[in-house]
Amino acid sequence: MHQGTPLAVINMAEDPGGREIPLVEIRDLVKYFPVKGGALLREVASVKAVDGVSLTIPERQTMGLVGESGCGKSTLGFLLLRLLDPTAGEVLYRGENILAFDKARMRALRKEVQIIFQDPFSSLNPRKNVSHIVGEPLLVHGMSTRSERNARVQELLEYVGLKKEHMRRYPHQFSGGQRQRIGIARALALNPSLIVCDEAVSALDVSIQAQVINLLQDLQEEFGLTYLFISHDLSVVEHISNRVAVMYPARSS
């Protein structure tokens, strides 16, 4: 019988005092993926990716989520973003259950919650230049004119250590670290409060990892960001996180 997804939370720093305001509360979250078989492709079993996880992420802090491959870390991040819908449970953002949101409210939430993907090589459209990639969220949400978007893209690139002349270049013209900076700029475009960093530095060399982590910390301080930082590397998570949730593979017998 499946016993749920074990999760242990570790405080990495002393409580600064005062009441913490939770930006996100995850309550008994469950995600099962069906396994189909037979001639009629009926559901014959299920993969229990996340099973009964509860987690609180305080505002303006970094919650690290660490665990070995296959334990459900990225799935949990996608559930938080509602890129996947859960089998059961609740995801509260500023006290409201986002699973009850209609399309209009989810569209508004997309401005508040963004993601930085793992692979800086596949997460950027190779056919689009940096100006389009970073400015696309602004266009999708009907924000600003072309000139205003270009000005905003230039500003975002400066935040992440890139230059105006990079706007017209394409992803293949950048290093892995630079590509991840482009991904970070895109995530910042709509002024989010929460960013899910899904293995955001795991594809980078160690020296570049440190640079990107330092950048994320600087941006957090400047813009009051909250991070869910997902990684399989505890040493990386410890460096950036206020708290660490250690996620283990679901137990079964």
- The reported pLDDT for the residue numbered 192 is 97
Band (pLDDT 50/70/90 cuts) for residue 178 is very high
Higher pLDDT, 18 or 123: 123
Residue 31: exposure state from Cβ atoms within 10 A (0-12, 13-18, ≥19): buried
pLDDT at 3: 45
Whether residue 77 has pLDDT greater than 60: yes
Contacts for 62 with CB less than 8 Å, ≥ 6 apart: 220, 226, 227, 228, 229, 240, 241, 242, 243
pLDDT beyond 60 at 143: yes
pLDDT in the model for residue 95: 94
User: Lowest mean pLDDT: which of 40-44, 99-103, 118-122, 209-213?
Assistant: 40-44
Percent of the chain beyond pLDDT 90? 67
Residue 41: per-residue pLDDT: 74
Mean pLDDT of 204-227: 95
Residues near 89 by beta carbon (within 8 Å), at least 6 away in sequence: 26, 27, 28, 29, 30, 52, 53
Q: Please answer whether residues 149 and 135 qualify as being in contact, where contact means their C-beta atoms are separated by less than 8 angstroms.
A: yes
Predicted TM-score of the model (pTM): 0.88
Rounded to 5°, angle at Cα 13 from 12 and 17 = 140
Instruction: Name all domains of the chain by residue range, CATH numbers in brackets.
Output: 7-247 (3.40.50.300)
State yes or no: pLDDT of 2 exceeds 70.
Answer: no
Distance CA 129, CA 234 (A): 34
